[in-house]
Structure 1
Amino acid sequence: MKLNLQDIPRVKTITKEEFIENYFKPQKPVVIERFIEDWPAYHKWSLDYIKSIAGDITVPLYDDRPVDYKDGFNEPHAKMKMADYIDLLKREPTKYRIFLWNILKEVPQLQNDFSFPDVGLRLMKGIPMLFFGGEDSHTFMHYDIDLANIFHFHFEGKKQCILFDQSQTEYLYKIPHSLITREDIDFKNPDLEKWPALKHAKGYVTYLNHGETLYMPEGYWHYMRYITPGFSMSLRAIARNPKNFSKALYNILIMRHFDNAMRRIKGQKWIDWKNQKAIVKTHKQLNI
């Protein structure tokens, strides 16, 4: 058995009215294939281009090691010059990824290469974020702390995206007091005997190519795997659903600080307890 995933709908182009009516209001994902062809970035942005203008910048790197109690929230696992990192991406598979890299802060000239699309949502201007990954590197299944509406623009190579909406959380082995599922679940090829609740989950899948845009609605779980080395940029708009907005405030103001405090107080026991609780709670509510 495999995960129950349907293909994310695709359109070539979209108007603001079509986007709001067909995807934002019902909170459904969509891939827009020709959304950014008028951006200079569509033609310019590649790993080589980023290396040429940002090669000397030291960047934070993350891999797929399990969360450690000594790690702070989003603490990097390594650092490297961007030029060396891109050389590594092109040379061999690596688990090292960059995520939440603020390009406006680091390389202001890159903001001349894109514009903020008029989609009827107020996109946050200050935090366009870049994400890089090597062949077969991946993020853990997670949702974003602010439960934002996200436009994810992909550049160079190919990337697999698996999504679930919040209604599927009970089947995903969510870790308490966090934004991730069990890290030992391989969403590329999950063991459904070991993780039987996943048989009930219904999600979405797509493969993004250069220049394609994925809209992820508020609070959607997402797992991203780089089929080939590449990078993406995200623009976001705050959650409009009051329930999601209040959950975002709770995550930012309370949850992450509570989790960090418990890591300091209880150490690895806290991590181990959360991992075990994810299984117990999931199986209990499904009578497994």
Structure 2
Amino acid sequence: MSLHLTPIERVKTISKEDFYNNYIKKQKPLVIEKLTTDWPAYEKWRLNYMKEVAGDKTVPLYDDRPVSHEDGFNEAHAKMKMSDYIDLLQRKPTNYRIFLYNLMKSVPSLKNDFKWPDMGLRLVKQLPMLFFGGENSRVFMHYDIDYSNILHFHFHGTKQCVLFAPDQTPYLYKVPHALISREDIDFDNPDFDKWPALEKAQGLVANLKHGEMLYMPEGYWHYMKYLTPGFSMSLRAFPRKISNIGKAAYNIMIMRHFDNFMRKQQGQKWIDYKNEQAIVNTHKHLGIATNHVTI
């Protein structure tokens, strides 16, 4: 069984006005294929180049293990020299990913390889984060804590991106007090008997190749799978909707701290409770009976 996914619209190039009026204002995803062809990064940004300029840097690595009460917020699971990590990526499939890493702070020359695109978004001019992954590594289904509008650029190889609009949240088994869906759902081959709500979800999909950019509107759920080893960069803009600014502030200033507090107080019991409530809340919306768990 597979999810109900529609291909994301694609263009080779687009004017600023067209992009703003038809995609930003309408909060509609889009792939732009040729936006980076005049960037130095288009020719330079391959894994071997990153190994050359950043091979001596020690980088944080994440795998696909379930969230544990023992892990801190976004705490790395391992560390490795960039040169060794890229050798690993090119040698065999691995679950290890680099997530939200500010490589440009360590290697300032990388800042000269890309251009801030004038696309009608007020981009946050902080150093962009980079993401690396090995063949078949996955980024769990989630949405971003700050509800940013995201320009997501991919380099070296191919990456599959599955998106769901915010109005699909009732079908995605959202974990309460978190930004994720149930981590034991296989979004590549979902079990609709176990997760019946997913059968009602309507999503979008695109395979990003080298140099292509995906626009993800604010609050969109996304699941990423590296079909080959590669890496990506995200540029961000603050949410346009006042309601989403409020949600972002709540996530950052209240929700995150409350969840960390409860993990310390309740341990794994809190994690298990949240995961069970993801089922309870979702099935309640569909009128499916589910047993409650208490803490």
Separation in structure 2 between the aligned mates of residue 103 and residue 118 of structure 1, nearest angstrom: 23
Separation in structure 1 between the aligned mates of residue 180 and residue 2 of structure 2, nearest angstrom: 21
Q: Deviations over 1:94-119 (max 9, x none)?
A: 00000101133121110000110001
Provide the residue aligned with 1:209 in structure 2: 209
Matches within 5 A, 1:190-229: 190-229=190-229
2:171 aligned with 1:171: yes
Separation in structure 1 between the aligned mates of residue 63 and residue 243 of structure 2, nearest angstrom: 32
* Structure 2 counterpart of 1:14, one-letter code: I
Partner SS for 2:215: strand
Separation in structure 1 between the aligned mates of residue 240 and residue 55 of structure 2, nearest angstrom: 38
- In 2, are the aligned partners of 1:104 and 1:126 still within 8 Å (CA)? no
Provide the residue aligned with 1:253 in structure 2: 253
Separation in structure 2 between the aligned mates of residue 39 and residue 281 of structure 1, nearest angstrom: 46
1:69 Cα deviation after fit: 0.2
Separation in structure 2 between the aligned mates of residue 119 and residue 29 of structure 1, nearest angstrom: 14
Provide the residue aligned with 1:61 in structure 2: 61
Provide the residue aligned with 2:98 in structure 1: 98
| Alpha-carbon RMSD | 0.7
Matches within 5 A, 1:7-22: 7-22=7-22
Provide the residue aligned with 1:147 in structure 2: 147
Separation in structure 2 between the aligned mates of residue 285 and residue 222 of structure 1, nearest angstrom: 22
What is the aligned length? Answer: 288
TM-score (ref. length: structure 2)? 0.97
Partner SS for 1:189: coil
Separation in structure 1 between the aligned mates of residue 22 and residue 127 of structure 2, nearest angstrom: 26
* Structure 2 counterpart of 1:73, one-letter code: F
2:135 aligned with 1:138: no
* Structure 2 counterpart of 1:138, one-letter code: R
Provide the residue aligned with 1:239 in structure 2: 239
Separation in structure 2 between the aligned mates of residue 147 and residue 103 of structure 1, nearest angstrom: 23
* Structure 2 counterpart of 1:121, one-letter code: L
* Structure 2 counterpart of 1:216, one-letter code: M
- In 2, are the aligned partners of 1:89 and 1:135 still within 8 Å (CA)? yes
Partner SS for 1:140: strand
Separation in structure 1 between the aligned mates of residue 113 and residue 177 of structure 2, nearest angstrom: 38
Q: Deviations over 1:136-173 (max 9, x none)?
A: 00010000100100000000011000000110001000
1:246 Cα deviation after fit: 0.6
Separation in structure 1 between the aligned mates of residue 19 and residue 244 of structure 2, nearest angstrom: 20
In structure 2, stretches of 5+ residues that fail to align are 289-295
Q: Deviations over 1:185-216 (max 9, x none)?
A: 01111111110000111110010000100000
Provide the residue aligned with 1:266 in structure 2: 266
Separation in structure 2 between the aligned mates of residue 121 and residue 45 of structure 1, nearest angstrom: 24
Provide the residue aligned with 1:119 in structure 2: 119
1:249 Cα deviation after fit: 0.5
Separation in structure 1 between the aligned mates of residue 84 and residue 199 of structure 2, nearest angstrom: 41
Partner SS for 2:163: strand
- In 1, are the aligned partners of 2:2 and 2:188 still within 8 Å (CA)? no
Separation in structure 2 between the aligned mates of residue 228 and residue 189 of structure 1, nearest angstrom: 19
Runs of 4+ in 1 over 6 A off after TM superposition: none
Partner SS for 2:112: helix
* Identity in percent: 68
TM-score (ref. length: structure 1)? 0.99
2:182 aligned with 1:182: yes
- In 1, are the aligned partners of 2:141 and 2:180 still within 8 Å (CA)? yes
Partner SS for 1:116: coil
Separation in structure 2 between the aligned mates of residue 27 and residue 106 of structure 1, nearest angstrom: 34
Partner SS for 1:281: helix
Separation in structure 2 between the aligned mates of residue 188 and residue 208 of structure 1, nearest angstrom: 17
Provide the residue aligned with 2:83 in structure 1: 83
* Structure 1 counterpart of 2:113, one-letter code: D
Provide the residue aligned with 1:71 in structure 2: 71
* Structure 1 counterpart of 2:137, one-letter code: S
Partner SS for 1:104: helix
Separation in structure 2 between the aligned mates of residue 230 and residue 110 of structure 1, nearest angstrom: 16
Provide the residue aligned with 2:4 in structure 1: 4
Partner SS for 1:124: coil
Provide the residue aligned with 1:25 in structure 2: 25
Partner SS for 1:87: helix
